[in-house]
Structure 1
Amino acid sequence: MQAQARSMLNPPVIAEATSIEETGLDLGLITELLLKTLYARGSMLARDLVEELCLPYVGVLERALTQAKREELVEITGSNGIGELAYRFALTARGLTRAQEMLERNGYVGPAPVTIQAYREVVLQQSLRGRRVTPADIHRALAELVLDQSVIDALGQALNSGQAIFLFGKPGNGKTALAQRVAEMFGGEVLIPYAVIADGQIIRVFDRHHHHPVGSAPHANADRRWVLCKRPAIMVGGELTLEALDLIYEPHARVYEAPLQMRANNGVLLIDDFGRQQISPRALLNRWIVPLEQRVDFLTLHTGKQLEIPFEGLLIFSTNLRPTDLVDEAFLRRIPNKIHIGNPSVRQFALIFQRQCQMLGIPFDQQGLAYLLRTYYVNKRELRACHPRDILRALVGAARYLGQEPRLTPELIDRACHSYFVDP
Structure 2
Amino acid sequence: MQTLTSPGPTTRILSTREPSAIEQTGLDLSFISDLALKAIYYQNAITAQALSDLLCLPYFNVVERALAQLKRDEMIEVTGSQGFGELAYQFQTTPKGSARAQELVERNSYVGPAPVPLQAFKEMVERQSIRTTRVTPSQVRRATADLIFDDAVLDAIGQAVNTGRSMFLFGESGNGKTALAERVAQMLGGHVLIPHAILVDGHIIKMLDLQHHEPIPAANGRTDYDRRWVLCKRPTVMVGGELTLASLDLVYDPVSKVYEAPLQMKAINGMFLIDDFGRQQIRPADLLNRWIVPLEKSVDFLTLHTGKKIEIPFDELIVFSTNLQPKDLVDEAFLRRIQNKVRIGNPTVNQFREIFRRQCEELGVPFDQQGLVYLLREYYVKPKRPLRSCHPRDILRTLVGIARYLDQPPTLSQELIDRACNTYFVDF
Same fold flag (TM > 0.5): yes
* C-alpha deviation, 1:159, in angstroms: 1.2
Corresponding position of 1:317: 320
SS of 1:243's equivalent in the other structure is helix
1:145 aligns with 2:119: no
In the alignment, which residue of structure 1 is the partner of 2:178? 176
Question: Which residue matches 2:422?
Answer: 418
CA, structure 1 residues 164+3, in 2 after alignment: closer, same or farther (shift >3 Å)? Answer: farther
Q: 1:143 to 1:247 in 2, by over 3 A?
A: same
Does the 8 A contact of 2:139 with 2:187 survive in 1?
yes
Whole-Å separation in 2 of the counterparts to 1:83 and 1:188: 40
What residue is the counterpart of 1:399 in the other structure?
A: 403
What TM-score do you get using the length of structure 2 for normalisation?
0.96
**8 Å contact kept, 1:9–1:189:** no
Residue 71 of structure 1: aligned partner: 73
Q: Could you report, residue by residue, the CA deviation over 1:127-148 in whole angstroms, capped at 9, with x for unpaired residues?
A: 1113211011111111111111
Residue matched to 1:126: 128
Counterpart residue number, 2:271: 268
In structure 1, what is the Cα distance between the partners aligned to 2:12 and 2:402? Answer: 49
Describe the shift of the 1:297–1:40 C-alpha distance in structure 2 as closer, same or farther (beyond 3 A).
Answer: same
The amino acid across from 2:308 in the alignment is: K
- Judge which range, 373-382 or 215-224, deviates more: 215-224
Structure 2 counterpart SS, 1:63 = helix
Which position in structure 2 is the counterpart of 1:230?
233
Q: Is the 8 A contact 2:52 2:58 kept in 1?
A: yes
Q: Which stretch of structure 1 is more off in the superposition, 79-88 or 263-272?
A: 79-88
Cα offset, 1:80, TM superposition? 1.4
User: 1:72 & 1:177 partners in 2: Cα distance?
Assistant: 59
Q: Which amino acid in 2 is paired with 1:154? A: A
Work out which of the residue numbers 263, 274, 285 in structure 2 matches 1:282.
285
Matching residue of 1:56: 58
Are 1:215 and 2:212 an aligned pair?
no
Identity among equivalent positions (%) equals 62
**Is the Cα–Cα contact under 8 Å of residues 175 and 346 in structure 2 kept in the other structure?**
yes
Worse overlay, 223-232 or 366-375 = 366-375
- CA–CA distance in 2 between the matches of 1:320 and 1:104? 48
Q: Are 1:258 and 2:261 counterparts?
A: yes
**Count of residues in correspondence between the two structures:** 423
Cα deviation, 1:229-280, whole Å, max 9, x if unaligned, reads 0110100011111111111111111100101111000000001111111111
Equivalent position of 1:114 in the other structure: 116
Cα distance, 1:11 vs structure 2: 4.7
Which of 206, 218, 242 is the aligned partner of 1:239?
Answer: 242
What residue number does 1:388 align with?
392
Question: Residues 39 and 91 of structure 1 are in contact (CA less than 8 Å); yes or no, is this contact kept in structure 2?
Answer: yes
> 1:330-387: per-residue Cα shift (whole Å, max 9, x none)?
1100001000000011111111111111111111111111111111111321110011
Counterpart of 1:248, as a letter, is V
Q: For the residues of structure 2 that align with 1:136 and 1:199, how far apart are their CA atoms? A: 46
Residue deviations 1:210-229 (CA, integer Å, cap 9, x gap)? 00101133665110000000
What letter matches 2:283 in structure 1? S
User: 1-side partners of 2:70 and 2:375: how far apart?
Assistant: 76
Q: How far 1:39 sits from its partner (Å)?
A: 2.4
Q: Is 1:300–2:303 an aligned residue pair?
A: yes
Q: 1:406 Cα deviation (Å)?
A: 1.3
Measure the CA separation in 2 of the matches of 1:72 and 1:400. Answer: 73
Match of 1:90 in 2: 92
SS of 1:299 mapped into structure 2: strand
SS in 1 for 2:91: strand
Match for residue 193 of structure 2 among 172, 175, 191: 191
Contact 1:75–1:90 under 8 Å retained in 2: yes
**Which residues of 2 match residues 154-165 of structure 1 at below 5 A?**
154-165=156-167
Residue 13 of structure 1: CA displacement? 2.4
Tell whether the 8 Å contact from 1:190 to 1:228 is kept in structure 2 after alignment: yes
Deviates more, 1:355-364 or 1:261-270: 355-364
Q: Is contact 2:275–2:321 with CA below 8 Å preserved after alignment?
A: yes
User: What's the secondary structure of 1:315's corresponding residue?
Assistant: strand
- Which range moved further: 409-418 or 189-198? 409-418
SS state of the match for residue 229, structure 1? Answer: strand
Q: What is the CA distance between 1:423 and its match in structure 2? A: 2.5
Q: Does the Cα contact within 8 Å between 1:17 and 1:56 map onto a contact in 2?
A: yes
| Alignment match, 1:338 | 341
Amino acid at match of 2:239: V
Q: Is the deviation greater in 43-52 or in 319-328?
A: 43-52
Q: Which runs of 4+ in 1 moved over 4 A?
A: 2-7
List per-residue Cα deviations over 1:189-210 (Å, max 9, x = no partner).
0000000001110000000100
Distance 2:251 2:241 in 1: 19
Letter of the 1:233 counterpart: T
Q: Residues 156-193 of structure 1, C-alpha deviation per residue, up to 9 Å, x if partnerless? A: 11111222100000000010111112121021100000
Using the alignment, how far apart are the partners of 2:86 and 2:295 within structure 1? 51
Question: Residues 165 and 316 of structure 2 are in contact (CA less than 8 Å); yes or no, is this contact kept in structure 1?
Answer: no
**Contact 1:80–1:86 under 8 Å retained in 2:** yes
Cα deviations across residues 272-314 of structure 1 (Å, max 9, x unaligned)? Answer: 1111111111111111111101101111111111111000011
User: Quick one: which of 28, 43, 65 aligns to 1:26?
Assistant: 28
Offset at 1:35? 1.5
Alpha-carbon spacing, 1:309–1:285, altered in 2? closer, same or farther (3 Å): same
